[in-house]
């Protein structure tokens, strides 16, 4: 058995897209992500790192970064303070979003980027 690691931090998640500029505009202009880096190494390799407001984890979009098919990323979940408020902001910014899905383990809103990469926003239930 391997020794236990003291710290593991998820810092970047790859999101495969077809059009890097369109995706960057969606994440920055419609979702409010910060554009941290946009570096074209060569015509076949471009690295764009974007960070959601208040998050320690970023996403990376670009060219030549992954063999995942555009739109195939379906498991990104982010925690937000209010599902109702998040849904309203998404709709106000032209993002198609689900109704709030109320569950015992939280309230959820679902949306996709222009390529179909799926996102889940979770409002955690009130505790104790």
Q: Scanning the structure block, which residue is given the tokens 């009130």?
A: 126
| pLDDT at residue number 1 | 67
Q: How far apart are CA 28 and CA 44, in angstroms?
A: 23
Confirm or reject CATH 3.40.50.80 for domain 12-123, answering yes or no: no
Give the DSSP H/E element, type plus range, for residue 58. strand 58-63
Query: pTM, whole model, 2 decimals?
Result: 0.92
Per-residue pLDDT of the chain (128 residues; tens, 9 = 90+): 677 878 899 999 999 999 999 999 999 999 999 999 999 999 999 999 999 999 999 999 999 999 999 999 998 999 999 999 999 999 999 999 999 999 999 999 999 999 999 999 999 998 87
């Amino acid at each position: 058995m391997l020794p236990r690691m003291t710290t593991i931090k998820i810092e970047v998640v790859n999101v495969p897209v077809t059009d890097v500029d369109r995706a960057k505009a969606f994440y920055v202009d419609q979702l409010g992500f910060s554009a941290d880096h946009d570096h074209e190494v060569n015509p076949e390799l471009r690295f764009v790192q974007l960070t959601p407001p208040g998050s320690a984890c970023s996403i990376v979009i670009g060219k030549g970064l992954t063999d995942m098919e555009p739109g195939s990323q379906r498991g990104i979940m982010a925690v937000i303070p209010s599902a109702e408020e998040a849904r309203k902001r998404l709709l106000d910014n032209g993002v198609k979003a689900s109704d709030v899905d109320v569950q015992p383990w939280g309230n959820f809103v679902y949306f996709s980027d222009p390529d179909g990469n799926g996102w889940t926003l979770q409002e955690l239930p009130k505790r104790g």
